Chain A
């Protein structure tokens, strides 16, 4: 099974500053035949369900602000919030779908707060 880890567990960033979250998979999620990384990012605000932000590691979902960006390949990925806003306080999860359709796994989450 592909195990997802995230770092840090939590971080506090000043409003308008950059937040960087890392996600690592226990094996590569890069599918060689199409050169796509089977990796997504979600945002979960308190009391709400997760919301899809990014898929294919770097493609923003429709309606997601462009301050959110995803990067990385293979086993190491990053979600960056370029200028943190108050409404970005949430837990962020990565998810692999390389094991599709047998297994979809999430990372443990990273909590983002305002400093």
Chain B
């Protein structure tokens, strides 16, 4: 069955760039029916969508984070990645990758999630 696994450093220094990769197994990232997204959850707080990317590279970012976010996809490795620049303590969170379902041409819900990875921003 489909599995998503986040990987990357658990500790990032302030002002540096957070980099995470999500490896997809049990299914192809090149499916025409899905985008692939990142969502984060600060400790004890609510979920925040960061952005989503299609296998072609088409992407959408949360306007509140857009200036600092870059997402990319590597179909040969069946994975997609997130870079978040100029991080501060406010970026400390559990970062989840997820499959973002398309129904017809509408991008809708997150139907499969990775287990999440805690990224702490601290010097």
Residues of chain A lying within 8 A (CB to CB) of residue B106? 38, 97, 100
Q: Count A-B pairs with CB separation below 8 Å.
A: 53
Known contacts: A50-B113, A52-B110. The answer to whether A103 contacts B49 by CB under 8 A is yes
Contact A109/B46 with A101-B60, A102-B60, A102-B63 known, Cβ cut-off 8 Å: yes
Report A39 CB to chain B, min CB distance, Å: 10
Within A31-84, which residues are at the interface with B (CB < 8 Å)?
A: 38, 40, 42, 48-52, 55, 61
Bound Cα distance A17, B108 (Å): 31
A95-B46 CB under 8 A given contacts A49-B116, A103-B62 = no
Flag B35-78 by CB within 8 Å of A: 1 or 0 each: 00000000000111100100000001011000000000000000
Q: How near does chain A come to B116, taking the closest CB pair, in angstroms?
A: 6
- Beyond A50-B113, A97-B107, 5 extra complex contacts between A and B, CB < 8 Å: A48-B115, A93-B47, A100-B106, A100-B107, A106-B48
Q: How far is the CA of A112 from the CA of B116 in the complex (A)?
A: 22
Contact A49 B113 (CB under 8 A): yes
Interface residues in A94-112 (C-beta closer than 8 Å to B): 95, 97, 100-109
Residues of A within 8 A of B14 (CB): none
Tally of chain B residues near chain A (CB < 8 A) = 20
Give min CB distance, A66 to chain B, whole Å: 19
Is the pair A55, B46 in contact by a Cβ cutoff of 8 Å? no
Interface residues of A (CB under 8 A from B): 38, 40, 42, 48-52, 55, 61, 93, 95, 97, 100-109
Known contacts: A103-B62, A106-B46. The answer to whether A95 contacts B109 by CB under 8 A is yes
How close is A45's CB to chain B, nearest CB, in angstroms? Answer: 12
Closest CB-CB distance, B23 to chain A, in whole Å?
A: 15
Whether A100 lies near B63 (C-beta < 8 A) is no
Could you tell me the distance between the alpha carbons of A107 and B45 in the complex, rounded to whole angstroms? 10
Shortest A20–chain B CB gap in Å is 20
Task: Establish whether residues A105 and B113, one from each chain, have CB atoms under 8 Å apart when the complex forms.
Answer: no
- In the complex the two chains form, what is the Cα distance from A5 to B60 in whole Å? 24
Cβ of B34 within 8 Å of any chain A Cβ, yes or no, is no
Q: Which of A52, A61, A93 has the most CB of B within 10 A?
A: A52
